Amino acid sequence: MRNCSSITPRFKTPNYISKQISSAEATLDTEKGFIIHISDEALQRSRNGQGGNNDTEVNLIVSLLNETIFRVSSSSDSKNERGICVFWHLDENGRGNWSTDGCKTSIDDGDIVCSCNHLSFFALLISPQVPEESHIVHLNYISYVGSALSIAFTGLMIVMFLCQRKKQCEHSVFIHVQLSGSLFLLHISFLCSVWFSGQRVPDSACEALGLLLHWCLLATFTWTAIEGFNLYLLLVRVFNIYIKRYLLKLSLVGWGVPTLTVMICGVTKAYGENPFYKDKENSTDKHLCWVTSQTVSYITVNGYLGLVLLFNMAMLVVVMVKMRQLRSQALQFKDHQRRAWKDWVSLLGLCCVLGVPWGLAFSTHGPMSLPSVYIFTILNSFQGIFVFLWFLTLTCQTRKEKQISSKGTIQVSFQSNEDYVTTR
């Protein structure tokens, strides 16, 4: 307000308001159905900028660009728009972006209310693609139930692996268990972040939860990429493969890359409370301890996930071609139909292990956004169960192959370190 001028604009603008205010008159009625409350702290800062005392009036200029965006439609037939209150933040380099620091968004009797502890250029970012509250409740239940079951099944898988640790451990089994461990931590950190976000916790605790959730998500993406890399070694570079301390190097990459990333993000203060939807009944925001910077989120989550999916999708195509070639060589025509359903089951299991369902995150906008959100939530919330079933299938398949190894067949195992052929 200190740099505002009270000169009347050349053209009359209906939504343009200019008024002198003081401490006794810290409320401005725009006569458009909106009331602006100015805090004493903001008035004092403006007076200090103009070199005045406590009785000095300051200039307040308000321009409503679009007054309809502050209205929440109550009709069930119309689109329910939701928004987030932000301000334009300038950094030291003169660059700017929308930020929610110091601003809270609430809904009061059908109006979106922005409450900020500072003055700047404010706006309301509208997100019409946010589902209705009834859908959000359903999605929350799906997420909570799926996460709880994924925790149970991935924990069971880890216990089974530890019990069989004395036996010879194949590389792929080790990688599956590491992926299950990252999923186990991811779902635990997600439930903890949701629960603590509803409580009054210190900012440092929420930052720590956001960092932990981010680290677990990046670890899950990294281990899905390692799954694709291991498939490449098994199916493309089958022979003459020897990597010294292979599992140790995979572990350093799988857990080290996420650790280094979150350390850098933590130094830049990229974690905290992040609003993700509004509760009509309580007229309050629902927050999640997560990444607060959109730039960091786009680079480390969207960008990283996109690279992982591109690589794993290429590996999935290679697997499909190899499976078709091996089946055509090993089986007669009458066996093709009997084996086709097994190939589809293997393909679905590989899609889950390679993280293909995460790609639905890029299809949650547009006319099919709501079905995509439901499918994305179901598949990724229950991913721990799918990985456990895949692990169990591979274990049973390995035992069965050992029993029939005396027969002349061509065998392909995704659980061994190389493809092998036995003929008699």
**Nearest-CA neighbor of 170 among 422, 419, 417?**
417
Contact 254/185 with Cβ under 8 angstroms?
Answer: no
**Nearest-CA neighbor of 228 among 171, 303, 174, 309?**
309
At 145 the pLDDT is: 95
Task: Specify the CATH number of the domain 133-417.
Answer: 1.20.1070.10
At 130 the pLDDT is: 54
User: CA distances (Å), 169 to each of 18, 209, 232, 238, 395, in order?
Assistant: 75, 34, 19, 19, 11
**Nearest-CA neighbor of 324 among 354, 346, 309?**
346
d(CA 321, CA 2): 68
At 346 the pLDDT is: 79
At 412 the pLDDT is: 43
Residues of the chain with pLDDT below 50 are 1-4, 6, 10-11, 69-80, 128, 278, 280-284, 333-334, 406, 408-424
Strands 122-126 vs 58-63: parallel, antiparallel or unpaired = unpaired
Q: The pTM is what?
A: 0.68
Q: Interior CA angle at 78 toward 74 and 84, to 5°? A: 65
Question: What letter represents residue 13's amino acid?
Answer: T
At 186 the pLDDT is: 96
Strands 111-116 vs 103-108: parallel, antiparallel or unpaired = antiparallel
Residue intervals of the chain classified under CATH 1.20.1070.10 are 133-417
d(CA 16, CA 84): 23
User: Which pLDDT tens digit goes with each residue over 403-412?
Assistant: 665 454 444 4
At 332 the pLDDT is: 53
At 141 the pLDDT is: 92
At 183 the pLDDT is: 96
Question: What letter represents residue 11's amino acid?
Answer: F
At 4 the pLDDT is: 47
At 254 the pLDDT is: 96
Contact 296/214 with Cβ under 8 angstroms?
Answer: no
